[in-house]
Chains A and B, each alone.
Chain A
Amino acid sequence: MKPEYVDLVQWDKVRNQIDSDFGAGVTKRLLGTLVPVSLPRAKGISFYLVPSGWLQILDRDFKPFTPLSLGMWLGDFVDGMFRLSLPALERVQEYTSNRLIVSRRGAESFTYGRSILKESVIKIEPSLLRGQRVFILNESSECLGLAALSVDAYKIGRLAKDRLVAKNLVDIGWYIRRLG
């Protein structure tokens, strides 16, 4: 297993998914001068962005070592779905208006892996629709992770305070929980 140049068909799928979730051209802005490379996994493929100057290093055979990650982790393609990584999320959120700002209590709860309830919602872009990916931000506009809206944003005002608004997909508490 070694890093490979990305397969163009697969890369198209990744790009389409990022752009459809967060807006046209987001992938291009994320890439900048970096180059996407992939690492095959037991399940699926991981994508990374590396400086073009690294391609020389990546051409070598890493034996007897096994490469596990390199550069900026963009995300993983598993079961036909691309999931953006936590490090990439923070960068992507700069380029999109898909944002849900939550209260201090909601933010804390979200970083423990919980989802967002109506009572935690401070502000959301009203045009967002059910199923859309939204970045969860605290009141200081710090990105805490990604969630899927479970209701159209313009309907949130009608919900009871304990109703689910956005389902947690990934949050920065994962860094800590992952280590047990």
Chain B
Amino acid sequence: MANGSDRILIGKEQRKRAKEIAKQYGYLPYMIERYVALWGEQEAIQFLKACEQPIKKSIRLNTLRASAEETLSRLKAKGVRLKKVSWLDTGYFADFSHISPGSLLEHMRGFYYVQGVPSMTVAEALSPQPDSLVVDMAAAPGGKTTHMAQIMNDSGVIVSIEQDRLRTASLESNIHRCGVTNSIVLRGDSRKLDQLGIAPDYILLDAPCSGEGLIALDPSRKRSKSMADIRYCATKQDMLLDAAITSLAPGGTLVYSTCSIAPEENEFVIDDLLKRRPETKIVPINIEFGIPAYPNPYGVELHESLTLARRFLPHKHNLEGFFICRIEKEESS
């Protein structure tokens, strides 16, 4: 796969300037070169500044355990300040002040889940219907599995797959804590999903990625990943998507997301999928959030329907960087 950054051509002066900015903000120069190519210098600097700011804490109310009203009233009584996220049914920004969000009884009882707003948006973008068969291909630590179970009112079946042995412990723990009973947890490599012999109505692929959208949460990401790491992730994402599309029932829906702002792991990956798998198409997401994804990142023309996918950006939304794309598989495939 050729990816976007292979196509970035910048002059000597721009490279020198990118190096200066990289030094000032503590990044690897290749990252700044890409940001400048993607957004221009002014917006790239806005992004870098936004990544120096903390991200607001947020929680999802788990209506499988308690009504939203009950949880809100209990948390308010404990001094937690809450503000609803406008596009989410049960998502709230939460200021716990000096209380640890995990230490409250309401958390232990599964009344809420501490989760980033973009992560909550992913499950709502898929919105699986009750009684359907759903696969969560990279399920740990369980935020999206438990959210989907809530949306499905704990009906149907969610097959939650995780490869990492340690992370499966957190996945199981969160499933039990949140009162989810419609899930089957499997350990294994989701690239082999097509060998499982099921045809899910919905698949959620929150793909393992380079985490380039999480710099505000993890400043070490400024220097910890190379372009080769991003390419490695993109290759794995291609394989996961292929397995997902092969398994998905005709007419089924997939949501692909990453916590990366890199077009190389998002728009380019989806554009390649559309070319490789003509039975797929991008469809609109039925909730309003973020901004449209890029149909021509770095000046490379990609499929125009990519504008139906959405992005969260730290400098535009004060949230983690995220990419969310809803894809349908043709009924007749």
**B108 in contact with A63 (CB, 8 Å):** no
| Given A70-B185, A178-B173; A57-B108 close (CB under 8 Å) | no
Q: For residue B195, which residues in chain A have a CB less than 8 angstroms away from its CB?
A: 63-64
**A67 in contact with B184 (CB, 8 Å):** yes
Q: For residue B189, which residues in chain A have a CB less than 8 angstroms away from its CB?
A: 64
- Among the stretches B35-43, B164-172, B268-276, the one at the interface with A is B164-172
A173 CB within 8 Å of chain B: yes
Chain B: residues with Cβ within 8 Å of the partner, total of 33
For chain A residues 9-66, which have a beta carbon within 8 Å of chain B? Answer: 49, 54, 57, 60, 62-66
Q: For residue A62, which residues in chain B have a CB less than 8 angstroms away from its CB?
A: 186, 196
**B177 in contact with A175 (CB, 8 Å):** yes
A111 CB within 8 Å of chain B: yes
For chain A residues 57-115, which have a beta carbon within 8 Å of chain B? Answer: 57, 60, 62-73, 85-87, 107, 111
**B157 in contact with A57 (CB, 8 Å):** yes
Q: For residue A8, which residues in chain B have a CB less than 8 angstroms away from its CB?
A: none
A79 to B189, CA, bound (A): 32
A67 to B188, CA, bound (A): 9
B50 CB within 8 Å of chain A: no
A141 to B186, CA, bound (A): 35
Q: For residue B108, which residues in chain A have a CB less than 8 angstroms away from its CB?
A: 111, 172-173, 175-176
Chain A residue at minimum C-beta to C-beta distance from B174: A175
B11 CB within 8 Å of chain A: no
For chain A residues 130-174, which have a beta carbon within 8 Å of chain B? Answer: 138, 142, 144, 172-173
B187 CB within 8 Å of chain A: yes
B259 CB within 8 Å of chain A: no
**B105 in contact with A68 (CB, 8 Å):** no
Interface residues on A, range: 20 to 34
**A65 in contact with B187 (CB, 8 Å):** yes
Smallest CB–CB gap between B163 and chain A, Å? 10
Interface 0/1 of A123-134, CB less than 8 Å to B: 000000000000
**A68 in contact with B109 (CB, 8 Å):** no
A67 to B183, CA, bound (A): 11
Q: For residue B177, which residues in chain A have a CB less than 8 angstroms away from its CB?
A: 172, 175
**B173 in contact with A68 (CB, 8 Å):** no
Interface 0/1 of B19-53, CB less than 8 Å to A: 00000000000000000000000000000000000
Smallest CB–CB gap between B132 and chain A, Å? 13
**A67 in contact with B176 (CB, 8 Å):** no
**A64 in contact with B176 (CB, 8 Å):** no
Q: For residue B103, which residues in chain A have a CB less than 8 angstroms away from its CB?
A: 176
**B157 in contact with A176 (CB, 8 Å):** no
Q: For residue A86, which residues in chain B have a CB less than 8 angstroms away from its CB?
A: 176
Q: For residue A107, which residues in chain B have a CB less than 8 angstroms away from its CB?
A: 105
Other A-B pairs beyond A68-B168, A70-B183, 13, CB < 8 Å: A57-B184, A60-B197, A65-B192, A66-B187, A69-B172, A69-B185, A71-B181, A71-B184, A111-B105, A175-B173, A175-B176, A176-B103, A176-B108
